Amino acid sequence: MSRANPFGDLDDFAPQPAPKPVPAAAIDEIAEASGFPSRKARTEKGEAVKMAADPAAPNESPARARTPRRRTTGRNRQINIKATEETIDALYRMADDLDLPLGAVLERALEALEEKTRRDATK
């Protein structure tokens, strides 16, 4: 008894023909009709222009850039907290004024809150 070759009849698996390239103008038209914004810079007239790939150009972001804080502190856990912009600004301002990492400012704030809670409980 002979065994059938599993790869013997693969005629129906022909390679797919290469797709025709789509013109860039058609892609832009479809994107605009679908409401997808362009990432290209716009002129005053609203036309898209190509941006120069200049690595020396400043990276402008809508948010105010903060100075990096890199310190070896032994703190190795991270938390993600949602807060108002004012609270975040106050935290960073206090850390800058005290010249402490954010974790140390949080530790001090928690210690002060615990102390206040203890005093209020003994009254």
pLDDT digits (tens, 9 = 90+) for 23-82: 999 998 999 899 888 777 766 665 555 555 555 555 555 566 777 777 777 888 889 999
User: What would the two tokens of residue 111 be?
Assistant: 């210690």
User: What would the two tokens of residue 91 be?
Assistant: 């935290």
CA atoms of 109 and 91, how far apart (whole Å): 10
Average pLDDT of the chain, as a whole number: 82
Those residues with Cβ within 8 angstroms of residue 104's Cβ, 6 or more apart along the chain or in another chain? 73, 95, 98
User: What would the two tokens of residue 11 be?
Assistant: 């005629």
| Each residue's pLDDT tens digit, 87-112 | 999 999 999 999 999 999 999 999 99
Q: Please tell me the pTM assigned to this model.
A: 0.43
Backbone angles phi and psi of 82, in degrees to 5: -85, 135
Backbone angles phi and psi of 32, in degrees to 5: -65, -40
* Number of neighbouring beta carbons within 10 Å of residue 46: 6
